[in-house]
Structure 1
């Protein structure tokens, strides 16, 4: 297969945030947001189906440790400090997601419209990561 990288890349398959308390993350992403948990390893990670992709929640300390002999050769990684993830919500569902978050006791940090008219709602997960909800139209480029 040949071609320019941008012609070969079809989208984001997975993205990750980091949390020290995986049970709190499980409660937020699985409980409050209702994402389906697809895999977990106690003390290391919990993964959720998120539309066609996967949201990975890792304990950074656990992912920075060297792999034991015979383990899959996934490079060590990890981040320090709060990260960011934006979850796609249809424009018609934005009011409902705001009401759902409020009813679940999740404080809305910011709720505004970009100059394009797209609405973004920002909250924090239990680890302090910035979680945004916005229409996929947010990144459509004007013609």
Structure 2
């Protein structure tokens, strides 16, 4: 199961990488599709991560459970509001921050430092790097 989770996690980087590359390499409609696709995919991944927090909250008790549920919902609301700015540059930056905040919360609320925790750090840092590449492409190519 560890291999499958790891493979799926890293495969999930592909749409980020392809969309970020599209900002740099494509023109007109395909480039606009890459721009929107990146933001929508980032939102989808954040919603997936929020769902994971929601699911793990069910094994918690008391205030820890309530906090995890609130963070899960707050993450989705923040991500949706980021997209609703309708500004790709702002949305990209805010979504990158939301990915980092999710990792920060997970690491602060768990004592597990096994393979999954290490993988989450690697994936999040790569996702943030791809957000930076996306934002840089918007600035350099004049879509900001």
Q: TM-score, normalised by structure 2?
A: 0.29
More helix by share: 2
Q: Which has the higher contact order (CA 8 A, sep 6+)?
A: 2
More strand by share: 1
- Larger gyration radius, structure 1 or structure 2: 1
